[in-house]
């Protein structure tokens, strides 16, 4: 009975940015819990590794390509998914980018690129998801991927910090508006994870050691370390959990 509350059997989950890293790990974890997956990335194909892994679990995988930096592509994707998949139970807003430069030198183009993908896309995908679920009088789960920089300032990443701080705030306001309709809205804030986005930090020997010294668990996270929180928030076990940003950071914020 208790285990059934964590099951996603019969559910459909849309995961953005699922070709690699955290997104790939989350899509696979949701499939392992029983969900069919709609995956979207800028270069995702049906024969990709995540597609193969999900189908080996006996779950369906539907691949879509979308360049979220292009506004027209975003809305074409939204309309196509609504047409092809009228029922989506879970939305995981994972797609994101980062640009690094000192604030004195940060360009407007880099600012806009990060804010568009990390924040605007999150809002409008969530809006489309909620409209569909509310019109059908059905609940659902939205899980946004925030960051430790939803709580802290970071160094040389002004647009990323601003976008992820905004994701935490947006999570609260959407929860306030939609929870009464049965749509829970939460965020997960990963700590320092081994992904493409953190490669520059890991290659900086001094910075890498400073990060490790701050993490009580004593290591960087693997993408799979983030999956338990996401699967929980997507499941019936979390039906009374909404409006939170849950850190999964190896103890970083508690230090």
Q: List active site positions.
A: 160
How far is residue 240's CA from residue 92's CA, in Å, rounded to a whole number? 18
Which residues have C-beta within 8 Å of that of residue 210, sequence separation ≥ 6?
A: none
| Cβ neighbour number for residue 2 with a 10 Å cutoff | 6
Residue with tokens 């994707």: 77
How far is residue 28's CA from residue 40's CA, in Å, rounded to a whole number? 13
Residue 28 token pair: 């696979």
Which residues have C-beta within 8 Å of that of residue 53, sequence separation ≥ 6?
A: 28, 31
Q: DSSP 3-state assignment of 113? A: helix
Residue 194 token pair: 């081994």
Distance of CA 168 to the CA centre of its chain: 12
Distance of CA 156 to the CA centre of its chain: 22
Contact by Cβ (8 Å): 223, 24: yes
């Amino acid at each position: 009975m208790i285990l059934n509350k964590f099951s996603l059997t019969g559910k459909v989950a849309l995961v953005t940015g699922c070709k690699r890293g955290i997104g790939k790990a989350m899509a696979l974890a949701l499939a392992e819990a029983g969900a069919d997956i709609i995956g979207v990335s800028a270069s995702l194909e049906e024969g990709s590794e995540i597609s193969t892994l999900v189908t080996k679990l006996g779950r369906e995988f539907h691949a879509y390509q979308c360049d979220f930096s292009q506004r027209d592509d975003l809305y074409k994707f939204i309309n196509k998914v609504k047409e092809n998949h009228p029922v989506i139970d879970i939305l995981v807003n994972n797609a994101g980018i980062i640009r690094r430069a000192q604030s004195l030198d940060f360009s407007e183009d880099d600012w806009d690129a990060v804010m568009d993908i990390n924040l605007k896309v999150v809002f409008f995908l969530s809006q489309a998801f909620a409209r569909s679920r509310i019109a059908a009088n059905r609940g659902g789960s939205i899980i946004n991927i925030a960051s430790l920089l939803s709580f802290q300032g970071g160094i040389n990443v002004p647009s990323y910090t601003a976008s992820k701080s905004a994701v935490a705030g947006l999570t609260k306001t959407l929860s306030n508006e939609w929870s009464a309709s049965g749509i829970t809205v939460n965020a997960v804030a990963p700590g320092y994870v081994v992904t493409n986005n953190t490669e520059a930090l890991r290659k900086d020997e001094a910075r890498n050691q400073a990060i490790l010294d701050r993490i009580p668990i004593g290591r960087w996270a693997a993408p799979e370390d983030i999956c338990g929180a996401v699967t929980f928030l997507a499941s019936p076990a979390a039906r009374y959990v909404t409006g939170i940003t849950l850190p999964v950071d190896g103890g970083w914020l508690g230090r």
